[in-house]
Structure 1
Amino acid sequence: MRLLTFTSLYPHPEKPSHGIFVETRLRHLLASGQAESRVVAPVPWFPVRHPAFGRYASYARIPRRECRHGIDVVRPRFASIPRVGMGVAPILLAAGARRCVGNILDAHGFDVIDAHYFYPDGVAAAMLGRYFNKPVVITARGSDIGVIPAYPLARRQIVWAARQARGLVAVCDALRVAMVRLGIPAAKIGTLRNGVDLELFRPVERDAVRAQLDIAGFTLLAVGNLVPLKGHELMIEALPLLPDVRLLIAGAGPLRRHLEAAASRLGVAGRVRFLGALPQDALRGYYGAADALLLASSSEGWANVLLESMACGTPVVAPRVGGIPEVVADPAAGLLYRERTGAAIAEAVRQLRAGQPDRGATRRYAERFSWDDTTRGQLRLFRSIVGAPA
């Protein structure tokens, strides 16, 4: 089966972990030997590479073509207009990618457009599917269903794209339920959860790694972009109630200075370390060295960092939102809390410390979540659309 993977969430040299879960799922699918794919990963157009222009300049530095892990990746540019209504985003995305998609169709052909993230990517993919008369599969991943439909026009476009698509995928059951509530036909939606790379994320020699990373005492690790959705400020607010606990924050984003100021204001700056964005192989050491992974998101589909931490033997403390209860479904995995407040987070951390799970049991729990079932589910779905024999 020949796929065209379409998504703006795909790793590149400027952000090696950007959309890594899309690439990982695709790599496991292609490893089956029963599908091939070319990736179209559109990037906003910007004319200047100078660092003074911040993240906009980084768009200009992203290569237009790359081969990653044997997969051809093409990155056409599209117009992205700041502070302009969301309604035009899918149109601009589809227009920017149309020539590239047409060239791939002419040169190599493809059977299905496999799109990831519903808005604007999935809507744009549905437009391209109509233009090229090709079936489309769209995978919903989290905030594209949990947050963006609050905008009425975006919601209508999402529902339109869902009705155009031949197949729909949710990465957790909670996301599937949310899609049905939007008015998307339940019969079209399948649940294919993300897995975890059990070879990459595995236990480490903790004492040696903790010494190497200068980690001492009970240490929490947070992994995620420094944006409001992730709730890092709540984690910092919990620290005055946990006087012997340290917090490591791995991630980059616009809230870095705000969070540093919050840590200083609360008198905990000496117990918070900002690590910046880290590649996955470096994250493994921090996962393994930490005593717990802390998550405080207001919305999540399937939070990959939870499984990555568990695979390294480290339990998690996370809010009971979205698909998180489907990931943290056993005491060996960690502990869930209901209120997203600093006080509730502090209490949850204290409870985890009082009954710290065995790290071996946490690893064994994560071993239930390989990518094999997800790959089989994708193959069934694509075969049903292409008409290939099972």
Structure 2
Amino acid sequence: MACRGRGTDLLSGIIPELCQKYPDLHFMIGGEGPKRIILEEVRERYQLHDRVHLLGALEHKDVRNVLVQGHIFLNTSLTEAFCMAIVEAASCGLQVVSTRVGGIPEVLPEDLIILCEPSVKSLCDGLEKAILQFKSGLLRAPEEIHNLVKTFYTWRDVAERTERVYDRVAGEAVLPIDKRLDRLISCCGPVTGYIFALLAVFSLLFLILLRWITPDSVIDVAVDATGPKSSWTLQHPRRAKLDEDDGKSETR
């Protein structure tokens, strides 16, 4: 089993419980930090030196070689926006078990990830489910998982999604400062809301000061450097011809 070295407190409770139930279970833990000593103490206390392998910080080029040694990937993060690590693990053919936090539920489909609450009991239940699936041969083949995951995220797809977000934001109405402050106060509570509103006012005053020191009129306006009619293309006709040829080759 490959593990990510976040949520160390959760991981320190999972290791002894599952190692006791499954004698053939091994943990490979990647990552480095001040809480590594907690895992070292757990390994020492339960005499798990031959079953808990602390790999420390890994170079990105070495991540794949570590992941393919396991069958299940455990992510115990308490906060997460996207979590590229579980995409990499799934791409290497591992069944993912992860906490249900942040944007993680949106990263992989339900049949490729077992989502758990950020608690030792919930994660142990999720891991036992994955272990039983593995032992009964119900997990997908690594090649099948890899071929599926590699279709989820491409640079073109990411760029199109990002563009849609920018277009949606650009089309939204800009709220005046008083309504922004009202929204902060109403959404964040009577105490925290006023603190955030005060910080927002200070930020606005600081921005006004900066615009007074350096007026907008003295700042160069960014030119459109992309597209068929951009200034960059007009200045470099040979490059434009190459881009046009590349575009034709992509559509063939």
Residue 282 of structure 1 corresponds to which residue in structure 2?
62
1:2-41 correspondence runs (5 A): none
Q: Which has the higher contact order (CA 8 A, sep 6+)?
A: 1
Distance 2:117 2:6 in 1: 22
Of 94, 109, 120, 1:329 maps to: 109
How far is the alpha carbon of 1:366 from its aligned partner?
A: 1.2
Residue 357 of structure 1 corresponds to which residue in structure 2?
140
1:1-390 correspondence runs (5 A): 220-225=1-6, 228=9, 231-237=10-16, 238-331=18-111, 333-338=112-117, 340-341=119-120, 343-353=124-134, 354=136, 355-367=138-150, 368-379=152-163, 381=166, 388=224
Distance 1:305 1:344 in 2: 21
Greater helix proportion: 2
CA contact (8 A) 1:226 1:255 kept: no
CA contact (8 A) 1:291 1:315 kept: yes
Q: Secondary structure at the match of 2:50?
A: helix
How far is the alpha carbon of 1:339 from its aligned partner?
A: 5.9
CA contact (8 A) 1:249 1:273 kept: yes
How big is each residue's C-alpha offset from its partner over 1:256-286, in whole Å with a ceiling of 9 and x where there is no partner? 1221111222343320001110111101111
Return the letter of the residue paired with 1:291.
H
Number of residue-to-residue matches in the alignment: 168
Distance 1:303 1:362 in 2: 18
Distance 1:352 1:374 in 2: 32
Could you state the TM-score of these two structures normalised by the residue count of structure 2? 0.57
Query: Percentage identity across aligned positions?
Result: 24
Return the letter of the residue paired with 2:5.
G
Return the letter of the residue paired with 1:352.
Q
Q: Note closer, same or farther for the CA distance 1:268–1:250 as it changes in structure 2 (3 Å cut).
A: same
Q: 5+ unaligned residues in a row in structure 1: which ranges?
A: 1-219
Q: Note closer, same or farther for the CA distance 1:366–1:376 as it changes in structure 2 (3 Å cut).
A: same
Return the letter of the residue paired with 2:159.
T
Return the letter of the residue paired with 2:144.
A
Distance 1:310 1:289 in 2: 13
Return the letter of the residue paired with 1:289.
Q
Q: Secondary structure at the match of 2:26?
A: strand
RMSD (Å) for aligned C-alpha atoms: 3.0
How big is each residue's C-alpha offset from its partner over 1:211-252, in whole Å with a ceiling of 9 and x where there is no partner? xxxxxxxxx011235755xx3313423322222110001110
Distance 2:130 2:22 in 1: 8
Q: Note closer, same or farther for the CA distance 1:344–1:307 as it changes in structure 2 (3 Å cut).
A: same
Return the letter of the residue paired with 1:337.
C
Q: Secondary structure at the match of 2:109?
A: coil
CA contact (8 A) 1:251 1:276 kept: yes
Q: Secondary structure at the match of 1:361?
A: helix
Q: Note closer, same or farther for the CA distance 1:234–1:299 as it changes in structure 2 (3 Å cut).
A: farther
Distance 1:264 1:279 in 2: 26
Q: Note closer, same or farther for the CA distance 1:299–1:253 as it changes in structure 2 (3 Å cut).
A: same
Could you state the TM-score of these two structures normalised by the residue count of structure 1? 0.38
How far is the alpha carbon of 1:336 from its aligned partner?
A: 2.6
Higher alpha-carbon Rg? 2
Greater strand proportion: 1
CA contact (8 A) 2:86 2:96 kept: yes
Return the letter of the residue paired with 2:146.
R
How big is each residue's C-alpha offset from its partner over 1:134-173, in whole Å with a ceiling of 9 and x where there is no partner? xxxxxxxxxxxxxxxxxxxxxxxxxxxxxxxxxxxxxxxx
